């Protein structure tokens, strides 16, 4: 996940006090009133230039506050975060409203793009009426803090979410899985009222900017009309849906064989808590149950533990992949200021994120790293954000972003696809004689499919729910019921114990709902990462099966890759896609090519089964 930039971390409570005092005396610069008369191109250029200067300064201040809040959660830092969110939202709403003045002008391409990006620069637009931005910020901060500070009672002690995530991946007792799952989802119930008010306020703000609701506002940020983007999502999902249905069918029969009909029936939806993940979004943690048997395989978590990896070494390994492509090493400040492990003395936001501090070289990640295969992948992913941020640092402020939000998420995932057995050999984690034989490919592909393919319908259902909530198609009384209807429709899963209470708020048990992070980017990233990967392997002249390819150490691929990254958001995303892949359309065919051997295996295994739900 990408986070806003900041300048530097507060390293003590003295620093926090000094920082707080400084914030109180450095309010956002006032935004000039719009000139009278008909707008001109020169006026539009002046407006955009001033807006970029102001936004750059605001972003640094806001991000410093956000970092302190995320790494020192308490009453005071939550107060700072609320105030920062409110002031920043008000300023951006005014800029977005003023940008609309220049919509009808015939502007140069770069200027036109900046005006459009200004209008779409908010995640949740507040209306301009007095107090609205403060109210919106208060609701958002409350939801975010509740999520990050919640714990559950489990086995006689208080357990945090990051520990729960590990336990969900290793526990095989269905009663304990149901207990952890249910207790965590119940922590989100108090968010329901905040979420309802957030929707009301943000929709009012979207209408002031000329959009019918926040859902359409989000969908307008993809260089095409909202309805066209929705169709594009369904087209891409259609390319992979047959594969997911086969995967679902196979996993269900393996869970039925493990647990029996009383826990997991052999037909219908799959019980969500049995899938190795709190949100049933990725299923790789149950590969030991459902994966095809193989000889000569390896356990990456065990390899990391065997070689005594710690959080620093894990991160350094991720960095070396990028430097092997010819990219620069991370700056010293990265190592001095990143949060790599959970502090013992305070609450923090453990959800992994990457931060650009000053739009130059002050970059860092914030994680609570566990030494396991998942975190090995996550580190490679988060560093992808940092290297993207560094690559586009010379672009104007409004172009310092991914070509679309899916690009930003796809960069690190593309690199993580390269962490094949051959890569593990090259970095010394795996011995040559431990490389699985070709006969083990279905097991390797299954592990990937349980994460990559299983994730797709989850990603769609998250934002399908939000788009419908913002459009008023789902009313507050139906929040939870509609959530599970969509999860069943797209994913074919059901909560443990049957129906969930209608007055629960299970969507809020997911970070991106509680913190209002649009989720379509992750679906697009799943598609784009395979396009990037296939293009890179083609450039490298790879001749073997696509899923065995790694471009580790290929500086020519790195040169072309970095050229795409340097474009930032300066052009419509099809231009950036074409620069690296040679195509202008997002396409799931690379994903199909990657997994085709496994698809054949699944169809054979599912013969005679009643698939679907």
Catalytic-role residue among 165, 208, 382, 409? 382
75-76-78-82 Cα dihedral, nearest 10 degrees: 130
Q: Where are the alpha helices (DSSP H) in 120-213?
A: 132-149, 161-170, 174-186, 192-208
Cβ–Cβ < 8 Å for 340, 162: no
Secondary structure (H, E, C), 188-246: CHHHHHHHHHHHHHHHHHHHHCCCCCHHHHHHCCCCCCHHHHHHHHHHHHHHHHHHHHH
Catalytic residue list contains 43: no
Tally Cβ neighbours within 10 Å of residue 13.
Answer: 9
DSSP code string of 460-480: HHHHHHHHHHHTTSS-GGGHH
Nearest to 404 by CA among 221, 611, 157, 200: 221
C-alpha distance from residue 140 to each of 92, 132, 203, 576 (Å) = 17, 12, 14, 33
Catalytic status, residue 512: yes
- Which of the following is catalytic: 142, 185, 351, 512? 512
Question: With 0-12 CB in 10 A as exposed, 13-18 as middle and 19+ as buried, what is 346?
Answer: exposed
- CA separation for the pair 475, 462 (Å, rounded): 16
Q: If we measure between CA atoms, which residue out of 558, 613, 287, 567 comes closest to residue 414?
A: 558
| CA angle (405 as vertex; 561, 87 as ends), nearest 5 | 130
- Residue 96 near residue 32 (C-beta atoms within 8 A): no
* Residues carrying an active site annotation: 382, 512
């Amino acid at each position: 996940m990408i986070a806003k930039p900041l300048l530097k971390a507060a390293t003590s409570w003295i620093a926090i006090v000094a920082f707080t005092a400084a914030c109180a005396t450095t309010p956002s610069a006032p935004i000039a009133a719009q000139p009278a008369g008909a707008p001109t191109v020169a006026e539009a250029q002046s407006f955009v230039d001033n807006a970029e200067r102001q936004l750059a300064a605001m972003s640094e201040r806001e991000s410093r506050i956000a970092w302190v809040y995320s790494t020192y959660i308490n009453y005071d830092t939550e107060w700072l975060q609320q105030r920062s969110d409110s002031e920043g939202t008000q300023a951006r709403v005014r800029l977005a409203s003023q940008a609309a003045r220049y919509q009808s002008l015939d502007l140069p391409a770069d200027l036109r793009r900046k005006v459009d990006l200004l209008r779409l620069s908010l995640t949740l637009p507040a209306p301009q009426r007095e107090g609205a931005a403060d109210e919106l910020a208060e609701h958002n901060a409350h939801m975010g803090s509740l999520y990050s500070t919640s714990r559950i009672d489990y086995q006689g002690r208080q357990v945090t979410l990051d520990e729960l995530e590990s336990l969900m991946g290793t526990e095989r007792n269905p009663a304990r899985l149901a207990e952890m799952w249910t207790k965590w989802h119940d922590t989100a119930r108090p968010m329901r009222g905040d979420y309802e008010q957030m929707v009301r306020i943000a929709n009012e703000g979207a209408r002031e900017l000329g959009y019918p609701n926040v859902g359409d506002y989000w969908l307008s940020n993809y260089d095409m009309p909202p309805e066209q983007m929705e169709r594009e999502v369904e087209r891409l999902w259609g390319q992979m849906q047959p594969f997911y249905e086969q995967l679902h069918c196979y996993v269900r029969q393996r869970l039925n064989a493990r647990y029996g009909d009383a826990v997991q029936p052999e037909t219908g939806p799959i019980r969500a808590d049995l899938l190795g993940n709190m949100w049933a979004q990725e299923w790789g943690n149950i590969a030991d149950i459902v994966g095809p048997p193989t000889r000569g395989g390896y356990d990456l978590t065990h390899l990391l533990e065997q070689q005594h990896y710690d959080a620093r070494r894990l991160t350094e390994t991720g960095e070396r992949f990028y430097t092997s492509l010819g990219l620069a090493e991370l700056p010293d400040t990265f190592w001095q200021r990143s949060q790599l492990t959970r502090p013992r003395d305070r609450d923090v936001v453990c959800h992994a994120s990457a931060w650009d501090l000053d739009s130059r070289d002050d970059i860092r990640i914030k994680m609570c790293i566990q030494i396991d295969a998942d975190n090995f992948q996550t580190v490679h992913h988060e560093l992808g954000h940092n290297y993207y941020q560094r690559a586009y640092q010379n672009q104007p402020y409004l172009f310092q972003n991914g070509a679309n939000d899916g690009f930003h998420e796809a960069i690190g995932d593309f690199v993580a696809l390269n962490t094949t057995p051959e890569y593990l050999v090259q970095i010394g984690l795996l011995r040559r004689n431990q490389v699985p034989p070709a006969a083990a490919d279905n097991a390797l592909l299954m592990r990937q499919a349980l994460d990559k393919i299983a994730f797709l319908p989850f990603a769609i259902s998250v934002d399908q729910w939000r788009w419908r909530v913002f459009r008023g198609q789902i009313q507050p009384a139906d929040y939870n019921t509609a959530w599970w209807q969509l999860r069943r429709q797209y994913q074919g899963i059901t909560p443990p114990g049957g129906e969930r209470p209608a007055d629960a708020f299970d969507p809020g048990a997911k970070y991106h709902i509680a913190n209002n992070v649009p989720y379509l980017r992750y679906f697009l990233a799943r598609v784009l990462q395979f396009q990037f990967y296939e293009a890179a392997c083609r450039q490298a002249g790879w001749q073997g099966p696509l899923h065995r390819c790694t471009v580790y150490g290929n500086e020519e691929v790195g040169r072309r890759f970095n050229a795409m990254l340097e474009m930032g958001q300066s052009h419509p995303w099809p231009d950036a896609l074409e620069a690296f892949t040679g195509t202008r359309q997002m396409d799931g065919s690379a994903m199909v090519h990657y997994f085709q051997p496994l698809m054949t295996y699944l169809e054979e295994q599912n013969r005679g089964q009643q698939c679907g739900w």
